[in-house]
């Protein structure tokens, strides 16, 4: 069940509410998209009380009189929430407000026990930032702090059987949220998706939010409108909710664009409304919310004093911001001679990026380390549904393995087939595995020479061709010899000896 009426639509900010344009190849309209992202903050406790934020808990076990909205209680602001908001604002190049306050947003809904949500209306904590997405700068209108609502549960088939009640769990009530509102600068479904993914990556780098769309720790509301190509005036927008994945985000925008252009093409008018994205049909459907539902009657929250954020606190928070993906994307090709694509894959996730940097710091060849992490390591992690910090292989172990290859002690294939798996799942070390399994490369020429001789002499037809200069046959012989050696012969030595033999 999705909560209606919770979108941020203050009258004063009508303009920022999102909606932008994009070029649709097949139509005469430009689509204008803006995103409102709700990010659940990874604090230990709720925004205004000491109840733990814990999503796996039994219903109504992480609640207290404050988050249940009992009469006479007072909210007290969680300092960490402010710090995370400032951290996020700084990372997105925002202006941090020196002075701000909280406001009450009133609406009635059973998941909101106080009948108002504490949010920030006309004095958000951060304003006017930007995020670069594929070389284009997307404006950030504002970031503000607010509290999440509870969860409504419609037990199983209740709805189908016309049950006349719902169940409410208030554990989530009061979970701190950041609402990050983009300017209507996005012009295509793809661009909107890239923006959301880039934002998610940053939130995860900052360790302020898990960024999990499926589980709802990051939620996107999308504003979509169309205008004739070349126009400067935005059309009427619709807000789409219930987008639970990046794929759905793109799909919702595409189908909403189609819906709106069909209406406009047939001479109709777009009605401003909130629509729900339906995963199964891939369509958006009207929520038919009543007009006055958007009359939130904001006023300053009398139970909370204003917030003044000092420059020294801002500076302190600035120190905690790690190198962000955007900076790494500039640095990697320069420092490590990596391609843009490889850089993108390595820097999307902070743990992967830091792991990579550690391996390189330990002396591994940067290109080689990147190939291994992007290739066989990632394949293993995906297959075992784990990630780089939860697997057993430490950066030291990977650097060692690459070192053994570099020194010619083992070859790539052996390392991949015989060692990597063990490092990743058991965390033993390469040297032991090499010794135990007898994997060390044979570089002794005498030993290899006999293998070469044997292979060449037992295949007289191919040998004839080789002598005639058919280089392709050489690969056949190398393969034969490698097989005979159990993959342990040094390919370089094998090649050299074949050349010598036929000379």
Residue ranges binding Zn ion (CB under 5 A): 49, 51, 64, 66-67
Q: What is the Cβ-side half-sphere exposure of residue 88, based on CA atoms within 13 angstroms? A: 33
> In the complex with Zn ion, which residue's Cβ is closer, 45 or 223?
45
| Alpha helix (H) residue ranges in 181-271 | 189-205, 246-265
Residue 92 CB, shortest distance to another protein, in Å, is 22
Q: Is 316 in the site for another protein (CB under 8 A)?
A: no
Specify the stretch interacting with another protein by CB under 8 A; choose among 129-137, 274-282, 291-299, 339-347.
291-299
Q: Which of 306, 363, 427, 479 binds another protein (CB under 8 A)?
A: 306
Q: Is 444 in the site for another protein (CB under 8 A)?
A: no
Residue (of 139, 163, 143) closest to 153 by Cα position = 163
Copy the structure tokens of residue 16.
């920022």
DSSP 232-252: -S----EEEEEE-SHHHHHHH
Q: Is 276 in the site for another protein (CB under 8 A)?
A: no
- Pattern 229-268, another protein, x by CB under 8 A: ----------------------------------------
Q: Is 28 in the site for another protein (CB under 8 A)?
A: no
- Separation CA 240–CA 34 (nearest Å): 11
Residue 286 CB, shortest distance to another protein, in Å, is 11
- Separation CA 256–CA 262 (nearest Å): 10
Q: Is 108 in the site for another protein (CB under 8 A)?
A: yes
Q: Is 125 in the site for another protein (CB under 8 A)?
A: no
- Separation CA 33–CA 186 (nearest Å): 5
> In the complex with Zn ion, which residue's Cβ is closer, 51 or 202?
51
Residue 284 CB, shortest distance to Zn ion, in Å, is 35
Copy the structure tokens of residue 173.
């009530």
Exposed/middle/buried for residue 260 (C-beta within 10 Å: 0-12, 13-18, 19+)? buried
Specify the stretch interacting with another protein by CB under 8 A; choose among 159-167, 326-334, 424-432, 471-479.
159-167
Q: Is 78 in the site for another protein (CB under 8 A)?
A: yes
The alpha carbon dihedral of 401, 403, 405, 408 has a sign of negative
Chain residues 136-155 in contact with another protein, contact rule CB under 8 A: 152-153, 155
> In the complex with another protein, which residue's Cβ is closer, 166 or 378?
166
> In the complex with Zn ion, which residue's Cβ is closer, 67 or 199?
67
Q: Is 166 in the site for another protein (CB under 8 A)?
A: yes
Residue (of 216, 200, 156) closest to 3 by Cα position = 216
Q: Is 12 in the site for another protein (CB under 8 A)?
A: no
Q: Is 440 in the site for another protein (CB under 8 A)?
A: no
Count of C-beta atoms within a 10 Å radius of residue 481: 23
> In the complex with Zn ion, which residue's Cβ is closer, 49 or 140?
49
Q: Is 388 in the site for another protein (CB under 8 A)?
A: no
Point out which residues pair with 131 in neighbouring strands: 138
Q: Is 288 in the site for another protein (CB under 8 A)?
A: yes
> Cα-flanking dihedrals φ and ψ of residue 341, to 5°?
-65, -45
Exposed/middle/buried for residue 212 (C-beta within 10 Å: 0-12, 13-18, 19+)? middle
Q: Which residues contact 368 (CB under 8 A, 6 or more apart)?
A: 402, 405, 406
Q: Is 82 in the site for another protein (CB under 8 A)?
A: yes
Count of C-beta atoms within a 10 Å radius of residue 338: 24
Q: Which of 307, 364, 419, 456 binds another protein (CB under 8 A)?
A: 307
With CB cut-offs between 5 and 8 Å by kind, which of Zn ion, another protein, none does residue 302 bind? another protein
DSSP 308-329: E--HHHHHHHHTTPPPPHHHHH
> In the complex with Zn ion, which residue's Cβ is closer, 124 or 150?
150
Q: Which residues contact 469 (CB under 8 A, 6 or more apart)?
A: none
Count of C-beta atoms within a 10 Å radius of residue 110: 15
Q: Is 170 in the site for another protein (CB under 8 A)?
A: yes
For another protein (CB under 8 A), the number of binding residues is: 51
402 with 372: CB under 8 angstroms? yes
> In the complex with another protein, which residue's Cβ is closer, 28 or 297?
297
> In the complex with another protein, which residue's Cβ is closer, 42 or 329?
42
Q: 242: phi > 0 → left, psi -120 to 50 → alpha, else beta; which?
A: left
Q: Is 304 in the site for another protein (CB under 8 A)?
A: yes
Residue 47 CB, shortest distance to Zn ion, in Å, is 10
> In the complex with another protein, which residue's Cβ is closer, 3 or 326?
3
Point out which residues pair with 89 in neighbouring strands: none
Binding site for another protein (CB under 8 A): 1, 43-45, 49-52, 58-65, 68, 76-82, 101, 106, 108-110, 152-153, 155, 163-170, 288, 292, 295, 297, 300, 302, 304-308
């Amino acid at each position: 069940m999705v909560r209606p009426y919770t979108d941020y639509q203050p009258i004063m900010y009508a303009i920022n509410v999102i909606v932008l344009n994009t070029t649709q190849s097949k139509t005469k309209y430009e689509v204008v998209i803006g995103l409102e992202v709700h990010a659940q903050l990874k604090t230990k406790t709720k925004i205004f009380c000491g109840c733990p934020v814990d999503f796996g808990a039994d219903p109504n076990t992480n609640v207290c009189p404050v988050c249940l909205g009992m009469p006479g209680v007072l909210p007290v602001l969680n300092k960490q929430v402010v710090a995370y908001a400032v951290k996020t604002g700084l990372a997105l190049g925002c202006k941090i407000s020196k002075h701000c306050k909280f406001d009450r947003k009133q609406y009635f809904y059973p998941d909101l026990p106080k009948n108002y949500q504490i949010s920030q209306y006309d004095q958000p904590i951060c304003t006017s930032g930007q995020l670069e997405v594929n070389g284009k700068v997307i404006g950030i209108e504002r970031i503000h702090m607010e509290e999440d609502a509870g969860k409504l549960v419609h037990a199983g088939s209740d709805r189908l059987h016309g049950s006349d009640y719902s169940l409410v769990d208030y554990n989530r009530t009061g979970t701190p949220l950041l609402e990050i509102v983009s300017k209507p600068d996005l012009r295509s479904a793809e661009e909107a998706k890239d923006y959301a993914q880039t934002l998610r990556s940053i939130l995860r780098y900052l360790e302020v939010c898990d960024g999990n769309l499926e589980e709802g720790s990051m939620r996107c509301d999308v504003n979509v409108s169309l205008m004739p190509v070349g126009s400067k005036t935005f059309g009427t927008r619709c807000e789409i909710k219930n987008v639970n994945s990046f794929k759905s985000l793109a799909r919702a925008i595409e189908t909403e664009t189609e819906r709106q252009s069909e209406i406009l093409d047939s001479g109709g008018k777009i009605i401003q409304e909130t629509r729900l994205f339906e995963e199964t049909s891939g369509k958006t459907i009207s929520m038919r919310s009543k007009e006055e539902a958007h009359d939130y009657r904001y006023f300053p929250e009398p139970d909370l004093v204003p917030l003044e954020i000092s420059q020294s606190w801002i500076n302190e928070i600035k120190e905690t911001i790690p190198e962000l993906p955007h900076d790494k994307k500039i640095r990697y090709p320069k420092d490590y001679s990596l391609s843009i694509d490889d850089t993108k894959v390595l820097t999307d996730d902070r743990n992967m990026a830091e792991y990579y940097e550690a391996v390189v710091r330990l002396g591994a060849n940067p290109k080689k380390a990147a190939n291994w992490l992007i290739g066989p390591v990632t394949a293993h992690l995906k297959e075992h549904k784990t990630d780089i910090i939860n697997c057993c292989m430490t950066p030291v172990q990977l650097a060692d393995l690459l070192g053994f290859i570099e020194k010619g002690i083992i070859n790539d294939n052996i390392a991949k087939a015989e060692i990597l798996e063990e490092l990743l799942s058991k965390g033993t070390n390469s040297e032991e595995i090499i010794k135990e399994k007898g994997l060390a490369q044979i570089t002794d020429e005498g030993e290899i020479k006999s293998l070469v001789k044997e292979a060449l002499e037992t295949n007289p037809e191919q040998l004839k061709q080789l002598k005639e200069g058919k280089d392709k046959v050489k690969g056949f012989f190398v393969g034969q010899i490698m097989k005979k050696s159990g993959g342990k012969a040094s390919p370089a030595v094998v090649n050299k000896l074949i050349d010598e033999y036929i000379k």
